[in-house]
């Protein structure tokens, strides 16, 4: 591949979004639009990338510092376009930051789903002619309204691009449109930018005007036409954002089903990136995995052979082993620490597994049970209404309803160790640091603050008091 420099146009306000948030920071599949574009740019291994900002510039530039940007592979720069006077004006601001010896790829910060292989082919087309060519990424649309039309001569050679607002009726009938993405030799681009003017209906500097200049200068103009309109779809309104989200998710769902995963309804499936940790959305499924409706997967999730995921579960950064069942409305969030669920485990419904939850084989976590930074060995059970935080739980432990580990003293976290074959009764409080010895039993309603011996029965309750014929206070009549 030749030396590549990237320009990403991200200065627009996005008025039709009707939002104070800059348009390129609205999210698709859990990640800002601009992050998608930067991620694609990184895969081209460019020398540099210049992001042209304007509206909300400080916020947009700050967003590029998150892990998902993957900027470590290239030199990332920013330039302000103030005021915003069109696409040509935007590129004029970036041009002084580019060397003159590479190929420039111009991308839009609100076109998130262009594939790297498409851009590599576009760059190759730009480099094919001696001295370089202007290569335009184009697509034919059934409804090209609002897009610049590709004008070709009788031999099919590209002669120019006419913007929709400036197009004649005959030109508006053209269905091949310019995507806003191009590849061009840097030395040619800089010369054409100097010749741009704003003699058009909008009074703006159109980058597309360089096409006519290239034709005039005898430089080949190539229309690299693709059939996948999703790759060049841009965002201008909440409706378009929602439509692109569903199209993207449906494509991901179809790919999973082609690999054998059974989705109850591919239209009700979401796979998202995790911007907190920079983990791209990836769902890896073994054979005979079944996923019910409304599930959201975030970051890297692995599902083993025969795993069943119930309806409306949210699962992020987790490994769920073969034969496990996750009942409906369960929330599993591994963040960076991750969550692992062992073979044959039963989770939920309405359970919550937080970062650092490590569950062994045949573990049962029932409704309204929360587990955080804790390990449960094979066969351990916490079937309802319980909290396990910063705990090490041995094999075959039965952890009663309403019981909690009191792991936080207001300043520091402390660990609870529950050894194998312990039975914890209902409504117990284990005040950490504490160890419950193997085979022991803790009576319901106990609050323990000291270690217990193996095999011991431990009970800690206040003396019951019963007052006969006691009367509750009566409400006083209103004055």
Q: Are residues 341 and 323 in contact, defined by beta-carbon separation less than 8 angstroms?
A: no
Tokens of 83: 């005021």
**Bridge partners for 56 per DSSP:** 54
Peptide bond just before 349 cis, omega within 30 deg: yes
Reported as type and span, the H/E element at residue 248 is: helix 238-258
225 phi/psi in degrees, rounded to 5? -90, 130
Return the sign of the alpha-carbon dihedral for residues 28, 29, 33, 36: negative
Check: CB of residue 268 under 8 Å from CB of residue 297: no
**Measured distance CA(238)–CA(423) in Å, rounded:** 53
From 55, 331, 384, 423, the catalytic residue:
384
3-state secondary structure at position 49: strand
Asked about 36 being catalytic, the answer comes back as no
C-alpha dist (Å) from residue 345 to 291, 341, 358: 16, 7, 11
CA distance 421 to 413: 25
d(Cα 234, Cα 232) in Å, to the nearest integer?
6
Non-local (6+) Cβ contacts of 392 within 8 A are 374, 375, 415, 416, 417, 418
Number of CB atoms found within 10 A of residue 363's CB: 28
**Helix-strand-coil percent breakdown of the chain, rounded to 5?**
20, 35, 45
Active site residues: 384
């Amino acid at each position: 591949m030749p030396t590549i420099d990237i320009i990403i146009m991200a200065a627009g306000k996005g008025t039709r979004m009707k939002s104070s948030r800059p348009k390129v920071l609205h999210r698709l599949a859990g990640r800002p639009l601009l992050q998608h574009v930067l991620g694609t740019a990184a895969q081209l291994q460019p020398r540099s990338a210049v992001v042209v900002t304007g509206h909300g510039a400080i916020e947009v530039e700050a967003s590029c510092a998150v892990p998902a940007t993957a900027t470590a592979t290239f030199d990332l720069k920013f330039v302000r376009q103030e005021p915003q006077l069109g696409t040509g004006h935007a590129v004029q601001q970036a041009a002084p930051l580019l060397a003159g010896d590479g190929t420039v790829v111009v991308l839009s910060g609100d076109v998130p789903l262009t594939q790297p292989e498409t851009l590599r082919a576009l760059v190759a087309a730009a480099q094919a002619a001696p001295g370089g060519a202007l290569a335009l990424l184009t697509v034919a649309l059934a409804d090209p309204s609002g897009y610049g039309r590709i004008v070709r001569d009788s031999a099919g050679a590209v002669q120019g691009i006419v913007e929709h607002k400036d197009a004649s009726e005959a030109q508006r009938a053209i269905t091949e449109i310019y995507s806003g993405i191009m590849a061009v030799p840097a030395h040619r681009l800089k010369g054409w930018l100097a010749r741009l003017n704003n003699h058009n209906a909008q009074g703006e500097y159109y980058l597309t005007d360089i096409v006519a200049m290239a034709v005039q200068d005898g430089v080949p103009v190539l229309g690299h036409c693709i059939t996948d309109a999703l790759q060049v779809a841009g965002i201008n309104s909440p409706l378009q954002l929602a439509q692109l989200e569903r199209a993207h998710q449906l494509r991901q769902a179809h790919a999973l089903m082609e690999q054998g995963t059974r989705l109850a309804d591919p239209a009700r499936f979401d796979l998202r990136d995790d911007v907190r940790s920079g983990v791209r959305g990836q769902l890896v499924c073994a054979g005979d995995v079944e996923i019910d409706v409304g599930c959201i997967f975030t970051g890297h999730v692995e599902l083993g052979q025969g795993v069943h995921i119930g309806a409306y579960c949210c699962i992020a950064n987790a490994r769920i082993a073969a034969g496990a069942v996750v009942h409906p409305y369960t929330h599993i969030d591994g963040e960076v620490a991750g969550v692992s669920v062992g073979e044959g485990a039963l989770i939920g419904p309405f359970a919550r597994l937080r970062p650092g939850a490590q569950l062994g084989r045949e573990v049962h976590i029932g409704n309204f049970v929360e587990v955080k930074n804790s390990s449960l060995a094979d066969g351990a059970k916490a079937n309802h209404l319980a909290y396990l935080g910063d705990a090490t739980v041995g094999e075959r432990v039965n952890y009663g309803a309403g019981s909690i580990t009191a792991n936080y003293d207001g300043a520091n976290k402390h660990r609870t160790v529950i050894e194998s074959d312990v039975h914890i009764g209902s409504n117990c409080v284990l005040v950490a640091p504490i160890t419950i010895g193997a085979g022991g039993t803790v009576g319901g309603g106990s609050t323990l603050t000291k270690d217990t011996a193996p095999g011991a029965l431990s009970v800690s309750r206040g003396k019951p008091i019963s007052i006969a014929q006691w009367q509750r206070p009566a409400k006083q009549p209103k004055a």
